[in-house]
Amino acid sequence: MLDSTPAGLLPDETPLLQTVGLTKRYGSFLANDAIDIDIWPQQIHALLGENGAGKSTLVKAIYGLIQPSEGEMRWQGEPMVLSGPSEARAHGIGMVFQHFSLFDNLTVAENVALGLDGKESFKDMSARLKEVSNVYGLPLEPRREVWQLSVGERQRIEIVRALMQNPKFLILDEPTAVLTPQEADQLFIVLNRLKSEGRAILYISHKLEEVKRLCDTATILRGGRKVATCNPKAETAASLARMMVGADIKEVKIAAGRRTTVPRLVVNDLSLAPDDAHGVRLQHISLELKGGEILGIAGVAGNGQDEFFAALSGERLAKDPGTVVIDGIAAGHLSITQRRKLGAAFVPEERLGHGTAPRMKLSENALLTGHAASGMVQHGFVNTAATLSTVDRATESFDVRKAKRDPEAASLSGGNLQKFIVGREILRNPTVLVVSQPTWGVDAGAAAVIRQALLDLAASGAAVLVTSQDLDELTEITDRIAVMFHGHLSEPLATAEASREKLGLLMGGSSLEQKEAADVSGG
Amino acid sequence: MELAEAIILSVLAASTPLLIAATGELVAERSGVLNLGVEGMMIVGAACGFGAAWLSGSIFVGALCGIAAGTLMSLIFAIMALGLAVNQVASGLALTIFGIGLSGLIGAGFVGERITSAPHLYIPGLTDLPVIGRIVFGEDAFVYFSLALIVGVWFFLYRTRSGLILRACGDNHVSAHALGYPVLRIRLFAVMFGGACAGLAGAYLPLAYTPFFIPGMTAGRGWIALALTVFASWRPGRLVIGAYLFGAVTILQLHAQGAGIGIPSQFMSSLPYLATVIVLVALSRARTGGSTAPAALGTVFVPDR
């Protein structure tokens, strides 16, 4: 019954895979509560839900990584119990992980071999790898080591690895989160082709427009329960979001009559060599950001955004003080603390480990960035009342939900911690805020709160610089968008004129090449 | 010439326990486990190996008992570091301290006894060849075994699927688990292999290097083996070179003292560690990317079930 071609599927009366009352308990916590889901061949089935809704738990159970506490799975109508992923693969279930399950120090071919069951020789496998990657237009070089590859290439490895098992059913966990719009379009072509070959696909995504475009069915989870199964093409993004959140998401309101004032953050021809072998060289970056304005920086991860953030925040110093000017004062040579004293605030991308010290309390974390300018330290002693009141104010203003007054940073959920970090900085009334990936991995409700806070801050006259890979987010809140590619920053486009196509091209570096070509011919 | 031959022979003998112990630790570390208990496993292997050889009169039985003792010791470590997910550094240090005490207890009854050392190979004609004869064809079985062992480990790591899986566990245990590999079981086997090797390396000392047992006779060789693994940047080929280099330093230090060269012996004995530090610095400077050490080395893994 396990024929190797997906063409030999049963007639349409039986779903390819069914979960019946699937429940997974962790202690008293119900991660999945009696979930029924039917997966049909030749369909792309979306699985929607907020962080913590139980999507990952469900797919882990389907892939055999965890055992359900109750309920059962049926494969082509027959009960199926999986003791591990290799059994899932033997049935014909493939999985593309969100956080890639790749090994950085192994080669592409070795990575693929580890995802297969080792029945063919390494040489045959490598040859088949080339063949499969060519057939689906997913080019890969088998001998390269993974750490050398871009995020898009890494995802190709995952997909090719799954395809080499010739799966009847393929699970993709947020595959487009790290791709440019063009790369995502390429992926959709592959997925539609897989669908037309008769395979079933379970597609997990936050991007509702994408789901509407691509998927035939959608199952929506909330708080571990299934709340609906629907046809996403018949829904609107707003109605899907409402089902996910269980309430209307507050529309982000842009204050009318916001005026731009003086330049508050100016970058003049900033170039910076990378400090490690994996880094990106920043090349002649210039921008001017006025008070009251929000500038977005788009771009695929790893194009110099981290380096740019470090140069702005003072984690790395520029040789020439004039390259970074905060509120009229040359600050390129100043330390982080000195820049904070000038009125700048910084929110890095990584919440745990960069934005906060995970095992320290929120009040202590508030002190770590607030000590420079807000009276939390007196004569070298910590003013505990002041640090705690900062926590309380951030909790109140930004709706931070936590179990006790002053818990460890690591105990908060991603969304709540991010609200706390952004709140901590905004409460200092900065005149310049540099924030990287403000809503990455944050649930929709918290994301709305954070975006509103950024807009309000700009409305109060601060300059806000937002780096994000989420184009929808940038389009929603920014006034202008620039794109970072290979350490270059494009000219900012007015957000109203920045179409996805234009931005996508810039993110792929195409106009840059033309510009360079023009430079060469002109010079 | 005579002297050179004698020096080379003694270098080989001094290097062999380092090579065997480091080979075992290399496999354990490649799977992602840092076991600092090598010294402890070696010394228990030495005590048990000598005791068994003295009681049975057989070097082979002694070697087997050394292996068994080292393996048992590594199981204690595995229960702590893998089963109970205790910090690996702390568990390894505890194992060493425990092993040193335990070996004194086991070996107390055998101190002062002598056995006949492991015989050296003798092939008429070949062993009698000038210069290379005794060096190539006149060693004890441990020397040949240690070389076969490291070649075997190289083949296992780079030419077999199981070796690839073991390296994968050391590179990223979360991914290995997500792909369905039993990370903890693989690491258990790797740690046990490391223990077996350390036990054998320890047993080599009283069975072949000197014909008697004294407490504390490993004298820091376990630590040198650990340094050697790093020195070799976790590559079997470099491990062989490093083992003989470190062995040579040890012997040269003895000869230097004998010849009355005025370098303090403490400085000479610190050379292997100094060399390791220098290699580490050189490696991280020359690195173009990726990581030389197994990326998951020393991190605790708890699967979610």
Locate the chain A residue with the closest alpha carbon to B30.
A105
Give residue B1's pLDDT band: very low, low, confident or very high (50, 70, 90): low
User: C-alpha distances in angstroms, B106 versus B100, B101, B194?
Assistant: 10, 9, 22
Distance of alpha carbon A268 from alpha carbon A323, whole angstroms:
5
Give A113's contacts in chain B (Cβ within 8 Å): 161, 164
pLDDT at B223: 92
pLDDT at B105: 95
Q: What are A217's two structure tokens? A: 């069915």
Q: What are A400's two structure tokens? A: 């931070």
Give A85's contacts in chain B (Cβ within 8 Å): 178-180
pLDDT at A313: 92
Q: Is the dihedral of CA A375, A381, A387, A389 positive or negative?
A: negative
Please name every residue paired with B243 in a beta bridge, in sequence order, or none if there are none.
Answer: none
Q: b/e string for B156-187 if b means 16 or more Cβ within 10 A?
A: bbeeeeebbbbbbbbbbbbbbbbbbbebbebb
Closest approach of A282 to chain B, Cα-based (Å) = 19
Contacts of A129 by beta carbon, 8 Å cutoff, 6+ apart: A108, A109, A112, A140, A142, A160, A164
Residue A161, phi then psi, degrees to nearest 5: -60, -45
Closest approach of A290 to chain B, Cα-based (Å) = 39
Q: Do A115 and B179 touch (CB under 8 A)?
A: yes
Give A106's contacts in chain B (Cβ within 8 Å): 164, 167-168, 171
Chain B residues interacting with chain A (CB cutoff of 8 angstroms): 161, 164-165, 167-168, 171-172, 174-181, 287-291, 294-295, 304-305
Closest approach of A78 to chain B, Cα-based (Å) = 23
Among A95, A102, A103, most B C-beta atoms within 10 A, so best to mutate, is A103
Distance of alpha carbon A208 from alpha carbon A48, whole angstroms:
9
Q: Which of A519, A493, A523 is nearest to A506 (CA)?
A: A493
pLDDT at B286: 66
Which of A67, A85, A105 minimises the CB distance to B179? A85
Q: What are B240's two structure tokens? A: 């062989």
Q: Do B179 and A101 touch (CB under 8 A)?
A: yes
CB count within 10 Å of CB A396 equals: 10
Long-range CB contact pairs, A393-401, < 8 A, 24+:
A393/A423, A393/A427, A394/A362, A394/A366, A394/A419, A394/A420, A394/A423, A394/A424, A394/A427, A395/A420, A395/A423, A397/A423, A397/A426, A397/A427, A398/A422, A398/A423, A398/A449, A398/A450, A398/A453, A399/A449
pLDDT at B169: 95
Residue type, B197: C
pLDDT at A278: 65
pLDDT at A201: 95
Give A102's contacts in chain B (Cβ within 8 Å): 172, 175
End-to-end Cα spacing for chain B: 65
3 state DSSP class of A484: strand
pLDDT tens, A242-288?
888 887 766 777 766 667 788 999 999 999 988 766 678 999 999 99
Q: What percent of chain B has pLDDT over 90?
A: 60
Closest approach of B191 to chain A, Cα-based (Å) = 21
Closest approach of B72 to chain A, Cα-based (Å) = 30
Q: Which of A480, A488, A495 is nearest to A519 (CA)?
A: A488
pLDDT at A7: 45
Contacts of A453 by beta carbon, 8 Å cutoff, 6+ apart: A398, A422, A423, A426
DSSP A427: T
pLDDT at A522: 44
Closest approach of A181 to chain B, Cα-based (Å) = 27
Contacts of A108 by beta carbon, 8 Å cutoff, 6+ apart: A129, A140, A141, A142, A143, A144, A145, A146, A149, A157
pLDDT tens, B16-75?
999 999 999 999 999 999 999 999 999 999 999 999 999 999 999 999 999 999 999 999
Interface A-B: count of C-beta contacts within 8 A:
69
DSSP per residue over A6-53, as a string? Answer: TTSPPPTTS-SEEEEEEEEEETTEEEEEEEEEEE-TT-EEEEE--TTS
Contacts of A132 by beta carbon, 8 Å cutoff, 6+ apart: A138, A160, A163, A164
Pairing of strands A169-173, A93-96: parallel
Which of A67, A115, A147 minimises the CB distance to B289? A147
Q: Do B178 and A103 touch (CB under 8 A)?
A: no
Closest approach of B54 to chain A, Cα-based (Å) = 47
Output the furthest CA–CA distance in chain A (Å, rounded): 78
Per-residue pLDDT of chain A (523 residues; tens, 9 = 90+): 344 444 444 455 789 999 999 999 888 888 899 999 999 999 999 999 887 788 888 999 999 988 999 999 999 999 999 988 889 999 999 998 876 788 988 999 999 999 887 788 888 898 999 888 888 888 888 888 888 787 778 888 888 988 898 899 999 988 877 677 777 888 899 999 999 999 999 999 877 888 999 999 999 998 889 999 999 999 888 888 888 888 776 677 776 666 778 899 999 999 998 876 667 899 999 999 999 999 999 988 778 888 999 999 999 998 899 999 999 999 999 999 999 999 999 999 888 888 889 889 999 998 888 876 667 888 888 888 889 988 999 998 888 888 788 988 888 877 888 899 999 999 888 999 999 989 877 777 788 889 999 999 999 999 999 998 888 889 889 999 999 988 999 999 999 888 888 888 888 777 645 545 545 444 3
Locate the chain B residue with the closest alpha carbon to A119.
B161
Q: Do A277 and B168 touch (CB under 8 A)?
A: no
Give A118's contacts in chain B (Cβ within 8 Å): 161
Among B31, B160, B175, most A C-beta atoms within 10 A, so best to mutate, is B175
Domains of chain A with bracketed CATH: 17-245 (3.40.50.300), 262-343+430-523 (3.40.50.300), 352-429 (no CATH)
pLDDT tens, B168-227?
999 999 899 988 899 999 999 999 999 999 999 999 999 999 999 999 999 889 999 999
Mean pLDDT for chain B overall: 89
Give A84's contacts in chain B (Cβ within 8 Å): 180
Give B289's contacts in chain A (Cβ within 8 Å): 147-148, 277-278
Give B164's contacts in chain A (Cβ within 8 Å): 106, 110, 113-114
B166's torsion region: left (phi>0), alpha (psi -120 to 50) or beta?
alpha
Q: What are A362's two structure tokens? A: 């929120």
pTM value surpassing 0.80:
no
Residue type, B128: D
pLDDT at A256: 61
Tokens 């070179």 -> residue: B241
Distance of alpha carbon A67 from alpha carbon A397, whole angstroms:
41
Residue type, A500: R
Q: Do A104 and B291 touch (CB under 8 A)?
A: yes
Give B305's contacts in chain A (Cβ within 8 Å): 66-67
Which of A86, A122, A145 minimises the CB distance to B180? A86
Q: What are B189's two structure tokens? A: 């086997």
- Output the CA torsion A359→A361→A363→A368 (10° steps): -10
Closest approach of A63 to chain B, Cα-based (Å) = 9
ipTM > 0.95 (yes/no): no
Distance of alpha carbon A301 from alpha carbon A485, whole angstroms:
9
- The interaxial angle of helices A510-522 and A500-507, nearest 10 deg, is 60
Contacts of A523 by beta carbon, 8 Å cutoff, 6+ apart: none
Q: What are B187's two structure tokens? A: 């690491």
Closest approach of A48 to chain B, Cα-based (Å) = 22
Locate the chain B residue with the closest alpha carbon to A122.
B161
pLDDT tens, B83-133?
999 999 999 999 999 999 999 999 998 888 899 888 888 888 777 877 777
Give B186's contacts in chain A (Cβ within 8 Å): none
Distance of alpha carbon A181 from alpha carbon A240, whole angstroms:
21
Domains of chain B with bracketed CATH: 2-112+137-286 (1.10.3470)
Distance of alpha carbon A291 from alpha carbon A344, whole angstroms:
12
